[in-house]
Amino acid sequence: MSESDAAKQAAVAWVREQMDHHGLTFDHLVEAGCFPEPDTEDGADAAPAVPEAEAPVASNAAPRVLYRNAMGQTWDGNGEYPDWLQRAVNAGQSIDFFRVE
């Protein structure tokens, strides 16, 4: 098995774990627009799953750092904890210990 195949299998396992954790099914993901619409009959691509008004705006500004560890790894506080922070919290460290503000 190549390194690429192993990475794909790990990603699939992670997605399945997240779906189980949040009680999601494939139908939920389809309804949420996670997959592009199939090509239309005339060969043109269908409209994007995310309306343009809701698409993220590209920005040159770096995300604001709220947490940093001694190795310089950072997190802006959005989304799930990064691995380094999750491991520290699981080990009993307070998240406030890493707060930059």
Distance set, CA 37 to CA 47, 48, 59, 83, 90 (Å): 7, 8, 27, 33, 40
Model pTM greater than 0.75? no
| Residue range 44-86, pLDDT digits in tens | 555 555 555 555 556 677 778 999 999 999 999 999 999 999 9
- Judged by phi (left if over 0) then psi (alpha if -120 to 50, else beta), residue 8 lies in alpha
67-68 vs 74-75, strand pairing mode: antiparallel
